[in-house]
């Protein structure tokens, strides 16, 4: 029985751990799924050989009466983890405690109110319907390279999301996820049966990297235990071996996946400029990562798969952690190399190629040939492949040369043509232009459907269900860009935008299918202005004179009720636009009603101009004016403030404003002139009463 097994506490484990911190004698262990807390790969102290081995350098066996706060601290917030999760994290004993030598992390159904910020330091609060705990070693213990093993028993039920993972403490390459994330183990909705299928039983190992959100990407693999065992039924050991240039995943000592630096990358903002991180970043020797253990509820992953949502009836749920152990490779502690345990059967995860920084000029109109015998030079193949269920290749076919073949064996995953650079502006195409391709289904599961998409970044996707011919029959398919865009996202709310295309052609079968494509192209004519709103025509666009311009509306971000906007009459000026702020939070802005707007035509000589008057202000208050493409893709300028009561004119080149980027230290970004959602954002840093007039874009 498990409880009996856990009551056995061999003293040598603690003694050996202490020796390992001051000696080269190894005391590590792989700790298989059914073992006790004794170390399973202890090295003999009499060994003369200098064979590299894993040496234990840090551990928590959870032998004490309470959680050791010299090793762990608690997150305390109701932020939702950045994933719309439904739990508040607390440091209460109801949500995390030690019993029988095991750490219990408990998710409970109860309303709870707490700070709506990651570090729990914001006065803004949120009430969520569950509580749980998230423990971490941040600012206590951090590592670069090594072996990380955790023996745990996982929770089950719709909406459960346990995680054993690592985040960078020093974040040398910027905010999440440009400085990386290593997920040792995640699982969602274990034991849930969907549509009469098998109970959910997969655990996942994943890397997150790339640019700061929302330009980040991820890649990884899943694993299922032998003999249909479920991770929620017993304890199993989850591990990664992290060395320079390579990360490997294990369950109960089985090596199931490897990712290498050829499939990850980092790109980060420095002084408003996007730069390439060195090869190997963000999982390189410049980064230190800490461990996290948590049990989330619902959210963007667990709440959107299997039977969706959260099944309240299964709570409370627990993640049980028997021990956590960290090892260093004696062969080369500075690189982690020399101690690898490698299986030839492990999946090699392809990951993602480093994209080109900056815009890539796409061909056309009248023709953009994406694939014909080979992929267009401005594109690259990529995939979303969480379960290893989808693959693609180029195959030769008589009478056609090379065709592009997609094979899918499960429900999840898609493949696509990714633009090599930043999102591209394709609004130069008229919307009556057509996406055209030849398609042949070689085989398919009963009921399988084929979605083809154009993608501006999830969920801003538009798709079409392609009618399928008889197996083995080539058919041509055509759809206008207008019809494709209007379809929107059939899987979630959203719609692609020609002003910001990330992936030009996405193939997403709903189930098992083998399908080939050829002659993939867009044909049509120039848009003669494309998606540029008519209100933004050169050489002058007045956003506010005596009235807000057609196509704009006044809105606000006002979480604390500290900011308000109104119109007032002023002698000699008629109507003016007035903003009053009484606290630190909030802004007001001119929102583009039919946006986002493509304002590229203002870049060369355009200026943002306005008159303004400070009526009163608190000492030290600053005034930011911004253009906004959706947070954090914002560019701002700090306006010098004149004496109170004096009307002053201000002018800045639009290109200069965009180049400034986002001045908020936490969140580097830059507005995209081809995708402006809010044309004029007023954000004082503190209390102020300020008036505006003649807000305009003008070419001199």
| Catalytic residue chosen out of the listed positions 149, 186, 200, 241 | 186
Give the H/E segment covering residue 299.
helix 299-302
| Catalytic residue chosen out of the listed positions 85, 181, 200, 675 | 181
Strand partners, 168: 289
Strand partners, 87: 130
Query: Closest Cα to residue 601, out of 685, 673, 689?
Result: 673
Q: What's phi and psi for 16, nearest 5 deg? A: -65, -40
Contact 525, 430 (CB under 8 A): yes
Give the span between the Cα atoms of 8 and 1, in whole angstroms: 12
Query: Closest Cα to residue 138, out of 165, 116, 114?
Result: 165
CB neighbours of 317 closer than 8 A, spacing ≥ 6?
106, 107, 155, 156, 157, 160, 295
Query: Closest Cα to residue 224, out of 255, 203, 195?
Result: 203
Residue position matching structure tokens 């700090």: 638
In terms of Cβ atoms closer than 10 Å to its own Cβ (0-12, 13-18, 19+), residue 226 is exposed
In terms of Cβ atoms closer than 10 Å to its own Cβ (0-12, 13-18, 19+), residue 310 is buried
Give the span between the Cα atoms of 486 and 462, in whole angstroms: 7
Asked if 142 is an active-site residue, the reply is no
Query: Closest Cα to residue 548, out of 565, 531, 561?
Result: 565
DSSP for 637-659 reads EEPPP-STT--EEEEEEHHHHHH
Q: What's phi and psi for 302, nearest 5 deg? A: -60, -35
Give the span between the Cα atoms of 405 and 31, in whole angstroms: 43
Q: What's phi and psi for 485, nearest 5 deg? A: -65, -40
Give the span between the Cα atoms of 342 and 255, in whole angstroms: 6
Query: Closest Cα to residue 627, out of 665, 555, 692, 677?
Result: 677
Give the span between the Cα atoms of 455 and 466, in whole angstroms: 16
Give the span between the Cα atoms of 302 and 300, in whole angstroms: 6
Give the span between the Cα atoms of 265 and 277, in whole angstroms: 7
Residue position matching structure tokens 């700070």: 115
In angstroms, the Cα distances linking 511 to 1, 414, 448, 506, 621 are: 41, 11, 5, 15, 57
Q: How far is residue 52 CA from its own chain's centroid?
A: 37
Q: What is the DSSP letter of 535?
A: G
Q: How far is residue 495 CA from its own chain's centroid?
A: 19
Largest CA distance in the chain: 95
Asked if 181 is an active-site residue, the reply is yes
Give the span between the Cα atoms of 599 and 354, in whole angstroms: 28
The number of residues in the chain equals: 700
List, by residue number, the catalytic residues. 181, 186
């Amino acid at each position: 029985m498990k409880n009996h097994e856990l009551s056995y506490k061999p003293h040598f484990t603690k003694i050996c751990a202490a020796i390992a911190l001051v000696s080269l004698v190894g005391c590590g262990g792989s700790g298989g799924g059914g073992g006790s807390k004794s170390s399973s790969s202890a090295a003999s102290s009499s060994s003369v050989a200098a064979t590299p081995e894993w040496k234990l350098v840090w551990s928590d066996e959870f032998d004490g009466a309470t959680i050791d706060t010299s090793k762990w601290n608690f997150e305390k917030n109701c932020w939702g983890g950045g994933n719309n999760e439904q739990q508040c994290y607390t440091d209460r004993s109801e949500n995390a405690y030690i019993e029988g030598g095991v750490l219990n992390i408990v998710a409970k159904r109860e309303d709870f109110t707490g700070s709506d910020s990651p570090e729990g330091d914001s006065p803004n609060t949120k009430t969520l319907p569950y509580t749980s705990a998230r423990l971490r070693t941040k600012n206590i213990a951090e590592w670069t390279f090594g072996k990380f093993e955790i023996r745990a028993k996982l929770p089950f039920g719709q909406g459960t999301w346990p995680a054993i993972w690592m985040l960078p403490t020093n974040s040398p390459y910027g905010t999440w996820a440009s400085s990386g994330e290593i997920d040792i183990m995640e699982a969602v909705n274990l034991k849930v049966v969907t549509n009469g299928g098998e109970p959910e039983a997969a655990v996942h190992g994943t890397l997150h990297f790339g640019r700061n959100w929302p330009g980040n990407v991820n890649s990884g693999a899943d694993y299922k235990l032998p003999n249909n065992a479920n991770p929620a039924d017993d304890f199993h050991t989850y591990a990664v071996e992290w060395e320079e240039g390579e990360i490997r995943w294990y369950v109960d000592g089985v090596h199931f996946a490897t990712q290498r630096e050829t499939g990850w990358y980092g790109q980060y903002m420095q002084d408003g400029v996007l730069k390439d991180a060195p090869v190997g970043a963000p999982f390189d020797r410049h980064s230190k990562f800490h461990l996290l253990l948590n049990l989330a509820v619902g959210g963007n992953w667990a709440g959107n798969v299997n039977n969706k949502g959260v099944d309240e009836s299964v709570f409370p749920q627990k993640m049980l952690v028997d021990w956590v152990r960290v090892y260093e490779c004696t062969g080369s502690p500075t690189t982690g190399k020399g101690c690898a345990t490698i299986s030839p059967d492990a999946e090699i995860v392809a990951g993602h190629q480093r994209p080109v920084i900056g815009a890539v000029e796409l061909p056309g109109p009248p023709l953009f040939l994406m694939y014909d015998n080979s992929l267009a030079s401005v594109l690259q193949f990529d995939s979303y492949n969480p379960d290893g269920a989808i693959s693609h290749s180029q195959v030769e076919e008589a009478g056609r040369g090379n065709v592009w073949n997609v094979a899918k064996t499960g429900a999840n995953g898609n493949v696509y043509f990714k633009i090599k650079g930043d999102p591209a502006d394709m609004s130069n195409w008229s919307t009556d232009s057509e996406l055209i391709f030849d398609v042949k289904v070689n085989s398919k599961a009963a009921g399988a459907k084929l979605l083809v998409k154009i993608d501006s970044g999830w969920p801003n996707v538009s798709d079409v269900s392609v009618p399928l011919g008889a197996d083995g029959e080539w058919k041509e398919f055509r759809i206008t860009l207008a019809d494709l865009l209007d379809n929107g996202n059939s899987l979630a709310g959203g719609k692609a935008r020609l002003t910001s295309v990330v992936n030009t052609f996405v193939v997403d079968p709903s189930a098992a299918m083998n399908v080939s494509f050829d002659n993939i192209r867009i044909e049509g004519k120039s848009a003669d202005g494309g998606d540029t709103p008519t209100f933004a025509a050169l050489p002058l666009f007045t956003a506010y004179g005596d009235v807000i311009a057609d196509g704009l509306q006044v809105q606000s971000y006002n979480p604390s009720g500290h900011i308000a906007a109104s119109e007032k009459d002023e002698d000699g000026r008629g109507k003016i636009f007035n903003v009053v702020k009484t606290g630190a939070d909030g802004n007001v802005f001119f929102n583009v009603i039919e946006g986002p707007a493509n304002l590229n035509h203002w870049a060369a000589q355009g200026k943002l101009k306005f008159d303004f008057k400070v009526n009163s202000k608190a000492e030290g208050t600053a005034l930011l004016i911004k253009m906004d493409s959706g947070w954090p893709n914002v560019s701002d300028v700090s306006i010098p403030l004149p004496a109170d009561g004096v009307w002053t004119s201000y002018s800045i080149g639009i290109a200069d404003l965009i180049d400034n980027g986002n001045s908020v230290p936490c969140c580097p970004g830059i507005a995209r002139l081809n995708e402006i959602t809010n044309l004029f954002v007023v954000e004082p840093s503190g209390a102020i009463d300020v008036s505006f007039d003649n807000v305009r874009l003008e070419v001199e």
